[in-house]
Amino acid sequence: MTVTTTTDTSGASARWVRRPRPAADPQARLVCLPAAGGTASAYFTWAARMPERVELLSVQYPGHQDRFAEPCLPSVPELADALTAALAPYADRPLYLFGHSMGAMVAYETAARLEAGPGPDPAALFVSGAYAPHRATPYPEELTDAELEGDIRAFGWLEPEVLDVPELRELVLPTLMTDVRAAMIYRPADPVRLRCPVFAYGGSEDRSATPEELSAWRDVSSGAAAWRQFDGGHFYLRAREAELVADIVSRMSDCAQALDGHR
């Protein structure tokens, strides 16, 4: 017999989570976290690539898009604390986490909080375009906006035309700076070793996603770990969306089979 559940999406959960293709009775959920300055809509096209009973949840950070009036949260741990609470209504099904760039850091911290909490562990963590938490070199907190902007351009974290068009710059720069600063000062003193599998992705031209950096993510998992590169730079996932999502879905299926085998 199929049991249909109703997910409570009121309050904080509704502010944090977008469901581009709601599922009445999902078998699992993939939670997608955007990069610095990014928005939930970045993942809306992924929903059509999901299996019918895998629901995609796209995260909207405060201060972004339709949450523009809210203050941005200034650190990765604060983002993870708030997101972990917001995901509680969705934990009735296995949760898989995917994060790109800053989103990978928040996804890792959220996975650690879920494993430390009373609910089920995340089924797997997928990270993209980011150093493992024990590998990143934190920047000084007093870094100026001009220095941050220089690194944004150097690392390719945003299309140059966004920073060069005055109207766009005025809209996105304050939020982007807060996010980038949060990512740059992030490095946990004692990274948690997760129980769930960790899979890392990156672009072949991204300096934060070299084979050495991607393979380092295995050090923060006691479960399965693997990595894969795609052609492209820091935002390879735009051009390689179909291939990336197919790989994620395949690994989700493998994880689900492994979980069933242990029951």
Name the pTM for this structure: 0.91
Q: How many domains does the chain have?
A: 1
Q: Identify the residue with better confidence: 151 or 255.
A: 255
Q: Which sequence positions are flagged as catalytic?
A: 101, 234
- Find the domain containing 233 and state its range: 12-134+191-258
On whether residue 129 sits in a domain, the answer given is yes
On whether residue 178 sits in a domain, the answer given is no
Residue percentage of the chain with pLDDT more than 70: 90
On whether residue 18 sits in a domain, the answer given is yes
The DSSP result for the chain, as a single string, is ----------THHHHHEE-SS--SS-SEEEEEE--TT--GGGGGGGGGGS-TTEEEEEE--TTSGGGTTSPPP-SHHHHHHHHHHHTGGGTTS-EEEEEETHHHHHHHHHHHHHHHSSSPPPSEEEEES---TTT--PPPTT--HHHHHHHHHHHT-S-HHHHHSHHHHHHHHHHHHHHHHHHHT---SS---BSS-EEEEEETT-GGG-HHHHHGGGGGBSS-EEEEEESSSTTHHHHTHHHHHHHHHHHHHHHHHHHHHT-
Q: Identify the residue with better confidence: 159 or 237.
A: 237
pLDDT tens across 1-57, in order? 233 334 555 578 999 999 999 998 999 999 999 999 899 999 999 999 999 999 999
Return the CATH number at 106: 3.40.50.1820
On whether residue 157 sits in a domain, the answer given is no
The predicted pLDDT at position 208 comes to: 85
Is pLDDT at 90 greater than 80 in this prediction?
Answer: yes
On whether residue 79 sits in a domain, the answer given is yes
On whether residue 177 sits in a domain, the answer given is no
pLDDT tens across 223-255, in order? 999 999 999 999 999 999 999 999 999 999 999
On whether residue 64 sits in a domain, the answer given is yes
